Each structure stands twice: as structure tokens, then as C-alpha cells.
Amino acid sequence: MRPRSCIFMLALLSVSGTAHSQSDENIIRTNRAASNEAIVRHDHDAIASFLDSEYQITTSLGQMSQGVEGEAASWERLIAERPDVVYVRTPETVEVSRDYPLAAESGTWLGTWTTAAGSVRTGGSFMAMWRKVDGMWKIRAELFVALYCEGGGCP
């Protein structure tokens, strides 16, 4: 193969790798938006459908848990306790690995609900690890950090 042909092939491989990562990034961003919509609908089964079988979470105040079933049950309890609860996670960056079926998402989150003491608006930063399993992007782990709380129901 001539040197120019080699350079062309390397450039082509580089572009196709970027396109693949861009497509995966768009899929992850679309999945995040759909998971936010599932929260708005209070559909705990749909929320759980975005989670990897080995899912782990550290909640905004530091509680840790793992497992899809446990997370679905947590959402069911939370929705029963706070009928108007909504959480929105807004990704700022999504980085797809070139070498592993993994991606890193980071951004901000906002939670709102009403208590007897008034409205609550809380939020902060989050990081998520996504893993591609059988061609599907699933959330493997999430870390949420509460950075503020406003309203009558805050500590």
C-alpha cells in the first residue's frame, strides 16, 4: 500500500470512530431525556428500564444502594411520599470511550416537590457511568451531590 493510501485509510478510520462516538453520545443524551420524562410521568418501571443489571447509586445526600429492583422500589416509595416530585438531570458533557463499551456523563440535576412547609427546590452536580450491553446503553452507576436547597421544606 502506498503512503498516501495509508494516510487516507487512517483518516477514514478516525472519522468513522468519531461518527460512532457521536452517534453513541446522541443515544445517551436521548436516553437521559427519556429517563427524565419517565420521572415526570412517575413511571418507576420505565425509570428502571434505563439501568444496567449491576446498577449502583450514591444519592444526593450520600445514601448508597445497588440493584435495579431496589432502585425501582425506591422510586415507587418516593413517588408515594411526594406525589408531585420531579427530578431533571441535565447533561453538560457525555464522553464515549474509544476503547471500552463505556461512557461518562456529567451535568447538573434539579429536584422539586411540595411539603407541608412549602415548595422545595434542590439540586447540584451528578456523574453517570454508562455501559453498552447487548448494543444498548444502560446506566451502570450514578453519583449525585446536593449543592443547594431552597424553600420551606429544606433542612
Half-sphere exposure of 81 (CA within 13 A, CB side): 6
Query: What pLDDT does 72 receive?
Result: 87
Q: Which domains does the chain have, with CATH numbers?
A: 3-151 (3.10.450.50)
Please name which of 137, 49, 126 lies closest in space to residue 101, comparing C-alpha atoms: 137
For residue 44, the tally of other CB atoms under 10 A from its CB is: 19
pLDDT tens figures, 126-151: 999 999 999 999 999 999 999 999 99
pTM: 0.84
CA angle (91, 38, 124) in 5-degree steps: 35
Q: pLDDT class for 8, splitting at 50, 70, 90?
A: very low
Q: pLDDT class for 124, splitting at 50, 70, 90?
A: very high
